[in-house]
Amino acid sequence: MAIRDIVLFPDSILTKKCRPVEEVDDSVRTLIDDMVETMYDAPGVGLAAPQVGIPRRLTVIDPTAGEEEDNLYVFVNPEIIEREGVIRWEEGCLSIPGVYEHVERSARVVVRALDRNGEPFELEATELLAVCIQHEIDHLDGVLFLDHLSRLKRRIVLKKYKKQLSKMAQQDDPNDGEPPD
């Protein structure tokens, strides 16, 4: 298993629609294992394949990540087949570090997907799991939680985020500071 690098906004891979996984083979299971390890390391409660640079319809979620028991879900080619109600939740995204905003989602969803053995299953979800499923499936469609904010709010948040990104880049750039003796 390996921890993979997480792609940061505004990388263009995050705004592209991902293609379905054609066959759940060993290479896909290796990617799943790496995504799980990367999610727990981050730490985050979900991770979508495009966030590690792979434009495929695959996501892992653990709404209890960081707590003792693990509740790991793997969704290959997930589809929401039922939705009901509205829930507001403060969301964050590993690809947009430092940004947290309330987003409206469906309160209850039923998702259909393949598991890590390629077997189809259906799952009903509410609360954080429902929020994560919608956040992650959005990633597979090239949609970010920023896209659910008002244009004004998005503009304010993006300005702050870009300022913070350029600060991070300066800290990371050894040529940017004092020249070595």
Positions touching ligand GNR (CB under 6 A) are 44-48, 51, 89, 91-95, 131-132, 135-136, 139
What is d(CA 147, CA 25) in angstroms, rounded to the nearest whole number? 33
Task: For residue 158, count CB atoms less than 10 angstroms from its CB and return exposed for 0-12, middle for 13-18, buried for 19 or more.
Answer: middle
The answer to whether residue 93 forms part of the interface with Ni ion (CB under 5 A) is yes
**Contact range with Ni ion by CB under 5 A, out of 14-22, 80-88, 93-101, 148-156:** 93-101
Active site residue 69: no
State the catalytic residue, choosing from 69, 84, 136, 178.
136
| 61 binding partner (options Ni ion, ligand GNR, none; Cβ < 5 to 8 Å by kind) | none
| 34 binding partner (options ligand GNR, Ni ion, none; Cβ < 5 to 8 Å by kind) | none
Cβ proximity of 80 and 42 under 8 Å: no
| 131 binding partner (options ligand GNR, Ni ion, none; Cβ < 5 to 8 Å by kind) | ligand GNR
Comparing CA positions, the residue from 103, 104, 107 lying closest to residue 157 is 103
Cβ proximity of 115 and 121 under 8 Å: yes
Tell me the number of residues near Ni ion by CB under 5 A.
Answer: 1
When the beta carbons of 7 and 118 are compared against Ni ion, the nearer one is: 7
Whether the bond between 43 and the residue before it is cis, its omega within 30 degrees of 0, is yes
- Which residues are catalytic, by number? 136
